[in-house]
Chain A
Amino acid sequence: EAGVTQSPTHLIKTRGQQATLRCSPISGHTSVYWYQQALGLGLQFLLWYDEGEERNRGNFPPRFSGRQFPNYSSELNVNALELEDSALYLCASSFGGTGTLRRTYEQYFGPGTRLTVT
């Protein structure tokens, strides 16, 4: 079974530019999550998409946004890049559902996209 895939592996951008990161979930998973892993800040929850809708977002400014496509893949966009946006961005997927009666709760992670802002 193919795991979560992310592209690109590395991305180098200049301050003020926009970055687009992509994620394909495990087949059968409808929920996609985005996390930021920055040095010294640990893993921080960014966004959750399920069935094409944004269900929850973490404590990040609005210039972090994304979407989920009908095939459940997802895109994370970061506008007006700042130096502190340099981090590993991890995508995860799971079986979906917003209620409490979900089949499983664990999230499966992709290898990440390393974003460097210069």
Chain B
Amino acid sequence: AQSVAQPEDQVNVAEGNPLTVKCTYSVSGNPYLFWYVQYPNRGLQFLLKYITGDNLVKGSYGFEAEFNKSQTSFHLKKPSALVSDSALYFCAVRDPTVGSSNTGKLIFGQGTTLQVKP
């Protein structure tokens, strides 16, 4: 079965330090991977995606993610954390196609709460 795992419920970093939020996946075929962020009482905001190409993907608000096929990982990173980055982060993978058809479904990890302290 296709799945996404975010092994850490919470990540704590000091403002100005680099941050990493981990994600591993299990999917048949080529993975299409995404990161989203959710602020309290808000919907999900798209940060970045990996479809194909360079393993280092750059996204919104200074975030980037590194795709590692051998380790089946797609970790989210930022060189210098801000207090305003504190939020809930979700990794997601597109459910593989059935035949030649797209299923439309994203499979989400359980989410990681990022706490950035001043």
Segment touching B, from A14-22, A66-74, A79-87, A95-103: A95-103
Q: Fill in one digit per residue for A44-59: 1 if any B CB lies within 8 Å of its CB, else 0.
A: 0100101000011010
Check B67 for interface membership: any CB of A closer than 8 A: no
For B90, the chain A residues whose CB sits under 8 A away are: 43
User: In whole angstroms, how far apart are the Cα atoms of A55 and B101 in the complex?
Assistant: 10
For B41, the chain A residues whose CB sits under 8 A away are: 111
Are the CB atoms of A109 and B36 closer together than 8 Å? yes
Check A4 for interface membership: any CB of B closer than 8 A: yes
Are the CB atoms of B51 and A105 closer together than 8 Å? yes
Are the CB atoms of B102 and A102 closer together than 8 Å? yes
Given A111-B42, A111-B43, A42:B110 Cβ within 8 A: yes
Interface size on A, residues (CB 8 A): 28
User: In whole angstroms, how far apart are the Cα atoms of A48 and B105 in the complex?
Assistant: 8
Check B100 for interface membership: any CB of A closer than 8 A: yes
User: In whole angstroms, how far apart are the Cα atoms of A112 and B104 in the complex?
Assistant: 19
Are the CB atoms of A98 and B44 closer together than 8 Å? no
User: In whole angstroms, how far apart are the Cα atoms of A112 and B111 in the complex?
Assistant: 17
Are the CB atoms of B102 and A100 closer together than 8 Å? yes
Can you name the residue of chain B whose Cβ is closest to the Cβ of A44? B108
Are the CB atoms of B105 and A42 closer together than 8 Å? no
Q: Fill in one digit per residue for B85-118: 1 if any A CB lies within 8 Å of its CB, else 0.
A: 0000010101101001111111111110000000
Given A43-B90, A109-B36, A58:B105 Cβ within 8 A: yes
The one of A6, A43, A48, A111 in contact with B108, judged by C-beta atoms closer than 8 angstroms, is A43
Check A24 for interface membership: any CB of B closer than 8 A: no
For B100, the chain A residues whose CB sits under 8 A away are: 99-100
Interface residues of A (CB under 8 A from B): 4, 6, 31, 33, 35, 42-43, 45, 48, 50, 55-56, 58, 90, 92, 97-100, 102, 105-112
Write 5 A-B pairs (CB below 8 A) sorted by A numbering. A48-B103, A100-B100, A105-B32, A106-B49, A109-B44
